[in-house]
Amino acid sequence: MDEPLPPPGLPPEHEDDDSGERGIVLQSLYSGRITLRLAAERLASLSLEGDDLGAGLLDTWSVIHWDAEHSAAYHQILSELLATIASLPPARDDEGNQLTINNNRIWVSLLSEGSERQEIITIFVNLNKFEATLMRTHHPTFASFDFWAIVVMREALESLEFNLEIQLPEALIPAAVAWVSILGPEMYSWDYEFPYGVNLSDRGRGGPLWNGQHGFCKERWTLWKQRFTELSSSSELSEDLRKLAAEGATKMGEAET
């Protein structure tokens, strides 16, 4: 982030307890003093302290949710933080057994409990809708948001199956549909690569199903449309997600005309 975000708030019910440490971690993340990975590891460690694992996770969620609810400026970095937490190695007890809550694995369970999970999905999808809408203005300030488009399309459409330990199809598919619905004609016309090579992050890299240009091109677009069509009949997805995938394929077809 170019400028540090303002210091985070803290849910009033937690101002006097150990959750204050979680707020300090978030403030350090916002100001750039620690990385996403380190913030995720510290929050994970704090969540595991004490005898009540559920309470520890709830405290962590409460602090994250407080910031997400009270300032849209936090949505992007908090979405990235939660994705990083979800990708951490499975939490285990002293005997090496994997920890679970209501049969949900930690850390995935932090993103998987009812309304909490849905709130994260909503934030992620709305963020991508917002980014696509800003890109449609063609203002140079927002030109770099094409990075988020390629990330979402890769994660949603360039693997034969979702890795449910670190991916949420309920978030990725709607986000991918949002990009092609809002910015489809522009995306169809894009034909360029992101820089890559030694000492450069490969932002335009492909998923397992794509080994071509490291960016946007007609061939990659065709793969995405094909994958939307395949997902629209996948027995692994809910009916709502299948309908969304079909909508994505339709929107891509419309963008080509």
Last residue of a domain, which of 68, 97, 112? 112
Number of domains in the chain: 2
Do both 90 and 213 map to the same domain? no
Do both 69 and 145 map to the same domain? no
Do both 81 and 138 map to the same domain? no
Do both 75 and 149 map to the same domain? no
What is the separation of C-alpha 40 from the centre of its chain, rounded to a whole number of angstroms? 14
Do both 17 and 108 map to the same domain? yes
Do both 129 and 192 map to the same domain? yes
Residue 61 CB partners (closer than 8 Å, separation 6+): 110, 116
Do both 254 and 140 map to the same domain? yes
Do both 198 and 87 map to the same domain? no
Do both 118 and 78 map to the same domain? no
How far apart, in Å, are the Cα atoms of 17 and each of 13, 14, 50, 110, 154? 8, 5, 13, 20, 41
Question: Which residue range(s) make up the domain with 121?
Answer: 114-257
User: Going by DSSP bridges, is the β-strand pair 104-105/192-193 parallel, antiparallel, or unpaired?
Assistant: unpaired
Beta bridge partners, 249, equal: none
Do both 46 and 164 map to the same domain? no
Do both 236 and 123 map to the same domain? yes
* Nearest-angstrom CA–CA distance, 55 and 53: 5
Last residue of a domain, which of 95, 112, 129? 112
Do both 9 and 96 map to the same domain? yes
As averages over each run of 10 residues, the pLDDT of the chain (257 residues) reads 46 50 90 91 88 76 73 71 77 77 58 60 80 84 84 93 81 95 97 82 87 96 98 95 98 96
Last residue of a domain, which of 112, 136, 163? 112
